[in-house]
Structure 1
Amino acid sequence: MMQVFSETQVEEHYKMSDAIRDIEQAFGHLEDIQQAQRTVIPTGEGAKAMLYMPCVDLKQQLGTIKITSITPDNPKSGKPTTQAQIVITSLDNGEHKAIIDGSYLTRLRTGALSGIATQYMSKAEAHILGMIGTGGMAYEQFLGNMEVRPIDTVILYNRTTEKAKTFKQRILKDYPNLEVKVTEDVSELVKQSDIINCQTPSTEPVFKAGDVQPGTHINGIGSYQPSMKEIDYNIFPKADWVVVDDLEGVKDESGELIEANDEGVFTFEEIDDELKTLSLNKQTRKNDEAITVFKCVGAAYFDLAVAVGAYQKLNQE
């Protein structure tokens, strides 16, 4: 009998620490995991699209496919921009074991990836987090960084300032001892932050490379189509360490890196590592003055790692 797990059930039992652990464990047996490049079908203006991401884990004999809809106008009618479901299938007998609401898991795995990148790439004492974009993906980005660094100050910027103020209240409700500021000046945020986290679907850079200070780490997770370019690509040649979640994925989907490569500003060959390499080798930054950048577009095996992890945990409890 197929099990069905709601977002509320998953959120109650499966946390950021679980997601970080399960993704890092998946890095250790990628030879058992096979995925197809995700299929993105535009369904309207801008970011409106359907996404399909299949993956199988031959070691655990489980397969997943995530089906995601992105509808940017949804917030106007009180519905989420991104909605997703993940189907889990037994490879032993082909039985579809469960459907898990994938919206929270998508946010959580993306936050976990930024958390893993921050853990290895940022300064150990990094404590000021600047967040550009306070939409649907932002809270789990916040949680990912909180999980791995002694964050005591958060600076928020959103194109609509009221949304940033609402997000501030959400943070303070859960973390009343944090200092949380809202700014209308992105330049100020960039200059003050130890970690800059970008989560916007912007088609043009949301900050200037020239404002980034030595020692800063940047996570860019918002742009996942060639038309989206939230990071100023001039930061790539200035960075000591440029790491991506999935090299083949960024070649097809990261607007900033595609444009930088096309313009000859920074080529795909100059990308230093994939995140799995840092995790497996426990590599950390060697220079506190270095600028480091992590670019994430997502890959099906990250969804598999958290979906299977959540499915197993929900069946234990």
Structure 2
Amino acid sequence: MKTISLSEHEVRAAVSMREAIDAVRRGFAGLARGEFEMPTRTALRDGRFLVMSAHHRPTRSAMVKTLSVNFDRAPAITGTVVWSTLDRLDHLIADAGAVTTLRTGAAVGVATDLLAAPDADRLTLIGTGGQAPDQVRAVHTVRPLRRLTVVGTTEERARSLADTLRAELDGTEIRVGTDPASAVGDAHIVCCATSATSPLFPASALPAQVHVNAIGAFRPTMRELPDELLADSTVIIDELGAVLEESGEIIHALRAGALSQDDLTELGTALTSAPAGHGKRTVFKSVGVAMQDWTIARLLADKFLG
């Protein structure tokens, strides 16, 4: 029996964003087929401590992730991911922060590839925390960017992230700002990765055709998008049970009558059948589900356990 333990650097070195996107895409398709046993995650102290688990029936393998979330420290997400299978004694343990940001970015890559216009090449990123870089990497993987606008709470934070990403985005024009509403006006794609508790911009600030990813709000008390945007968009979610339990945007829009559950299409379903749209705007709302962590853990297990 052996146990492999992987650091953040080792996770990053082992799995490319393209590999992660392809694996998460297969995972969402498998979720739609009923391949996963996946309880709703346990959230303690209003989401500051999280426990997530997923069992993949065809491979008799499972993943359990435990983490803590504190936006007042860096990194905000710390913890462990443990992968195991009934068919062998070996285990793999990986840094939860790296797995979480990678799989969240990958889900955005899958959704953006499906929903954004084929020629979309202008991204506005709102948020400069630990999730933000992989949002850009994922979008750039499926829609090579001609322009990136980074919006932070301060220009210094936005510029710092822009400088970090510059080396990875050769030939991309990079701008920075502090006002989300003015920064989304001519975007083709918008990524929201914040801890906001109220909408970041009005729906009227967006162009008529745009794809919006929202991954920051993962508790009912958090909210990045306005009801008006959700009411006027094709809305794709990661998993119905999860968003009804945890997504502040979806819960608020349902209570306000801006949405009904029939308006929500899970990403796994949308990958095989085009969702019915309300207009030219599309939204992907994700709170993150354990299947995504399993897909990255499975990639790592294949590479390190053989």
TM-score bin (small chain): over 0.9
How far the C-alpha of 1:234 sits from its partner, in A, is 1.4
Structure 1 CA distance for aligned equivalents of residues 182 and 170 of structure 2 = 23
* 1:1-317 equivalent positions in 2, closer than 5 A: 1-30=2-31, 31-42=34-45, 49-75=48-74, 80-92=75-87, 95=89, 97-239=91-233, 241-271=234-264, 273-281=265-273, 283=274, 290-315=280-305
Aligned residue type for 2:122 = I
- Checking the alignment, whether the CA contact within 8 Å between 1:36 and 1:55 is kept in structure 2 is yes
d(CA) in 1 for partners of 2:116 and 2:49? 34
Q: Distance in 2 between matches of 1:28 and 1:202?
A: 30
Identity over aligned pairs, percent: 29
Moved more, 11-20 or 217-226: 11-20
- Cα separation, partners in 2 of 1:175 and 1:83, compared to 1, 3 Å: same
Counterpart-to-counterpart distance in 1, 2:271 and 2:232? 23
Q: CA deviation at 1:313?
A: 2.1
Deviation digits for residues 91-122 of structure 1 (CA, Å, limit 9, x no counterpart) = 236x4611111211110111111111111111
Provide the secondary structure at the position in 2 that maps to 1:66.
strand
Scaled by the length of structure 2, the TM-score of the pair is 0.94
Amino acid corresponding to residue 249 of structure 1 in structure 2: A
CA RMSD of superposed structures (Å): 1.8
- After superposition, give the CA deviation of every residue in 1:27-65 in whole Å (9 maximum; x if it has no partner): 3433332111100001xxxx6611000111121121110
**Paired residues of 1:13 and 1:314 also in contact (CA < 8 A):** no
With over 3 angstroms needed to count, the CA separation of the structure-2 counterparts of 1:286 and 1:234, relative to structure 1, is closer
Q: Kindly provide the amino acid, as one letter, of the partner of residue 83 in structure 2.
A: I
Q: Which runs of 5+ in 1 are unaligned?
A: none
Letter of the structure 1 residue corresponding to residue 242 of structure 2? G
Q: What amino acid is aligned across from residue 19 of structure 1 in structure 2?
A: A
Structure 2 CA distance for aligned equivalents of residues 173 and 20 of structure 1:
21
From the superposition, tell whether residues 28 and 190 of structure 1 become closer, same or farther in structure 2 (CA, over 3 Å). Answer: closer
